[in-house]
Structure 1
Amino acid sequence: MKLTFLGTSAGKPTKERNVSALALEFDQQRGWYLFDCGEGTQRQITCSRLSLEKLDAIFITHLHGDHYYGLPGLLASKTLDSSVTPLSIFAPKGLRKFLESALNISEEHLGYNLTIIEYMPQEEFVFDKFTIKVLPLVHSKESAAFYIQENDISNRLDEEKLRHAGFEPSPLYGEIKRGKSLLIDGKKVDAKEFMLDVVPGRSIIIAGDNSRPDVLGSYLEDLDLLVHECTYTQDVYDKLERKLLHTTARDLGIAVKNGGVKNLIANHINPRYNKDNTLGTQLLYDEIRSAFDGGLFIADDFDSYYLNRDGSVSVVS
């Protein structure tokens, strides 16, 4: 499973970061999935190896502009690219009205089938390679996390063992996968004897804005990867005159440690943490690291990561 960050800034774009957008790709699958679509996401896609033609679905965590204002432009660009592949959008209630208004006013006629599903908390959706569950978060506007559980791989043949038993590749292999028993030297042998062990599916949570990472509770237990906002260090947050419902690096580190998360990628970085400021992202990293000793990354725009089968995370160069 590969994640590519197309926007990692909180609230507004900066010279270094665009606003929220994240691409997810599954192994050996043509299409890909977009999580959030802040303003300018369509341009970020053109600067990546991704293609709108292969985009299968978009998931919006909540209806704050930096997470969905990029949708009208992206939908129009897909039409201009002469793409006719269908597209689905999963979002909170209100997204349909927003898009219908924008498309009607601009007299935009999409050349493909667009399906909008306005989800409810705890709702589940089933896809070919995974299931996704909507988890409620704590924010100033209704916000969600998406718990993604990849399907187990359970139909792999032990071809080496089959050849050793005298069975070369043939239509028989398909029958074995379907559970047909074999007759070897006059003995009936269960087809299961020639199947490899099940490969467990990987698990990810991609969270929207959230002031309480611990609200994810049991879903954090043994989770392979959490992608979560990390808008402030604790010291900066404590000094804010107006407290916004966002996560601090300290609280995030404590939550993932207590929850048993294997890997964390922090994003949604406040613009004050930039390369031209003494408040760099290393401060965020260090504050999380003071509590959490698992795999830890602070995402920049266009960073790509691969979640391996063993639960580790690798940086994709």
Structure 2
Amino acid sequence: MKFLFLGTSAGRPTKTRNVSGLVVEFENDNGWYLFDCGEATQHQILKTTYSLNKLKSIFITHLHGDHCYGLFGLITTKMMEKSSSPLKIYAPRGLKEMIESCVDIRFEHLGYEIEFIEIFGGFEEEFDKFSIKVLPLIHSIESYAYFIKQKDKFNLNKELLQKDGLAPSNYYKDLKEGKEVIVNGVIYKPEKYLIKKEGKKVIIAGDNAEPDILVKYLNNLDLLIHEATYTQEVFDNLEIKYLHTTAKNLGEVAKRYNVKNLIATHISPRYEGYEILEEIKKFYNGNVFVANDFDMFLLKDYLIYL
């Protein structure tokens, strides 16, 4: 699983950070997925190798502008590029009406099919390479996290098969597909010879005041991508307490639940980013990064910065 950050700023863009947008790509998939689409996301995409024609679905965490205002231009640009591939957009209620107020989304106008799927806490859907479950968060408006579970993979124990008398052949393919085979009167059951490699579990969270709300899904999570808008000191001195997470809070929660890898994003424009990282590391000694725009990560057995 690969992750490319298109925008990592909170609220408004800066000279070095755009607002929220994240590309997710799965191994051996024929397309890619976009999580949040803040203003100028399509400009960021232009600086990458990703094509709108290969964009399969967009997942919006909530309807604040820094997470969805880029949709107007992206939808229209896909039309102008004569892209005919269908597009699904998963989002909280109200997004379709917001888009319709600015863009004619009829097939006759766009030249491609666009489908809006309204999400809610507990919403689930299966895809070719993964599944998602929508988890509610705590924010000033309806906001969600996406719990992503990669499909499990199965490899054959070829040494055991050969030891049991079955030489490499087309039967291996049948067993890998979960089919029982009989050769020379000997029954070979797939459950004996399949080695399961469990798919990775990832949470991509929208704006959220309390990462603890995700407790049911955090234990030994492979990767948590979560906002860390403020340091604790700045947050404590704010006259108005906005419903966002501090670096301290995020670090404490990641440590408490043994999160294996952590990426902080949605950084207040007042910071360079190192301040957030330093504070998280005071409370969490796992593998942690503060994302910058165009940072790319690969999650296999562990998280690698590319």
> Is the structural similarity TM-score above 0.5?
yes
Task: Indicate if the aligned counterparts of 1:250 and 1:288 stay in contact, CA closer than 8 A.
Answer: yes
1:210 is aligned to 208
Q: Are 1:173 and 2:175 matched, yes or no? A: no
Q: Distance in 1 between matches of 2:14 and 2:233?
A: 22
Q: Distance in 2 between matches of 1:262 and 1:193?
A: 29
Q: Distance in 2 between matches of 1:178 and 1:69?
A: 45
Q: Are 1:315 and 2:299 matched, yes or no? A: no
- Say if 1:207 and 1:259 are closer, same or farther in 2 by CA, change over 3 A: same
Q: Distance in 2 between matches of 1:167 and 1:140?
A: 62
1:227-257 per-residue CA deviation (whole Å, 9 max, x = no partner) reads: 0001010111111122111110011111111
Q: Are 1:20 and 2:20 matched, yes or no? A: yes
Alignment partner for residue 278 of structure 2, among 276, 280, 286? 286
1:8 is aligned to 8
SS class of match (2:85): coil
| TM-aligned CA deviation for residue 100 of structure 1 | 1.3
Alignment partner for residue 245 of structure 1, among 243, 246, 251? 243
| TM-aligned CA deviation for residue 166 of structure 1 | 5.6
| TM-aligned CA deviation for residue 44 of structure 1 | 0.4
- Say if 1:272 and 1:86 are closer, same or farther in 2 by CA, change over 3 A: same
1:67-88 per-residue CA deviation (whole Å, 9 max, x = no partner) reads: 0000010011111111100000
Task: Indicate if the aligned counterparts of 1:7 and 1:41 stay in contact, CA closer than 8 A.
Answer: yes
1:89-110 per-residue CA deviation (whole Å, 9 max, x = no partner) reads: 00000001011111149x9921
Query: Identity over the aligned pairs, expressed in percent?
Result: 50
Task: Indicate if the aligned counterparts of 2:104 and 2:110 stay in contact, CA closer than 8 A.
Answer: no
| TM-aligned CA deviation for residue 162 of structure 1 | 5.2
- Say if 1:104 and 1:183 are closer, same or farther in 2 by CA, change over 3 A: closer
Q: Distance in 2 between matches of 1:294 and 1:55?
A: 32
1:299 is aligned to 291
Q: Distance in 1 between matches of 2:81 and 2:159?
A: 47
Letter in 2 for 1:62: H
2:73 is aligned to 73
Letter in 2 for 1:272: R
| TM-aligned CA deviation for residue 182 of structure 1 | 3.0
2:152 is aligned to 152
SS class of match (1:102): coil
Q: Distance in 2 between matches of 1:285 and 1:193?
A: 45
SS class of match (1:197): strand
Unaligned runs of 5+ in 2: none
1:51 is aligned to 51
SS class of match (1:206): strand
- Say if 1:193 and 1:131 are closer, same or farther in 2 by CA, change over 3 A: closer
Unaligned runs of 5+ in 1: 275-280
Task: Indicate if the aligned counterparts of 1:214 and 1:259 stay in contact, CA closer than 8 A.
Answer: no
Q: Distance in 1 between matches of 2:218 and 2:82?
A: 41
Letter in 2 for 1:52: L
| TM-aligned CA deviation for residue 145 of structure 1 | 0.4
Q: Distance in 2 between matches of 1:296 and 1:157?
A: 34
SS class of match (1:15): coil
Aligned residues: CA RMSD: 2.0
1:112 is aligned to 112
Task: Indicate if the aligned counterparts of 2:161 and 2:193 stay in contact, CA closer than 8 A.
Answer: no
| TM-aligned CA deviation for residue 128 of structure 1 | 1.1
Q: What TM-score do the two structures reach when normalised by structure 1?
A: 0.91
How many residues are aligned here?
304
SS class of match (2:288): strand
Q: Are 1:94 and 2:94 matched, yes or no? A: yes
